[in-house]
Amino acid sequence: MNAPARPADLSAHEQVYRNVRTRIMLGELPPGKALTLRGIARDHHVSMTPAREAVRRLVAEGALTISASGRVSTPALSDDRIEELAALRALIEPELAARALPRAHFALIDRLAQMNARIADAVENHDAVGYIRCNLDFHRMLYLRAQAPAMLAMLETIWLQLGPTMRALYGRVKRNEPPRHHRMILAALRAGDEPALRLAVRADVTHGLRHLTQS
């Protein structure tokens, strides 16, 4: 029977977990990137135990994969898997947006518009990671108003699994402007138009991923 984890180990484990999780979600690690427990432990100045526990959690969330030989890597998603995750986003995100709409006051809409301006800055600076971070923050800021924590937690797991793929998508589409669907989302929020909001969100979360599944 394993000895109980010491508080220091739990703290280190949580720090490693959150750091690696964020890097994956923001696309800082490309699809199929191999990771080692020794390398993770070294990078975070911790022992192997917190590194192993962090990897275990990330594998359970689908953020990392582990082969039969024990090789740990970021997921390299098949077209079918990308389509499945895109379909889940198309189901969950319009629903979260619709639930947020009654609580989307003008101050929130103004903050979303400011976030969209930050996305424009990231595009202008060719900052792929900054673009992904601001894009996720735009959506998260809206969806938090839905007050549906279980749905948002499920969505964050999907974002996490798609993180490395979204970085590949950014390079594929060569963006030179913020997502046009964000303007449609903002307009629908201002108008209080739920059908238009659902349509804009669904288009936003599925449009780009089609580029990755085109032969």
- As a whole-number percent, the residues of the chain with pLDDT over 90 amount to 65
Q: CB of 51 within 8 A of CB of 16?
A: yes
* Position 215 confidence tier, pLDDT thresholds 50, 70, 90: very low
Domains present along the chain, CATH in parentheses: 7-73 (1.10.10.10), 79-213 (1.20.120.530)
When pLDDT is averaged across residues 121-136 and rounded to a whole number, the result is 88
When pLDDT is averaged across residues 169-180 and rounded to a whole number, the result is 66
Lowest mean pLDDT among 101-105, 127-131, 197-201: 127-131
- Prediction pTM value: 0.86
When pLDDT is averaged across residues 97-106 and rounded to a whole number, the result is 97
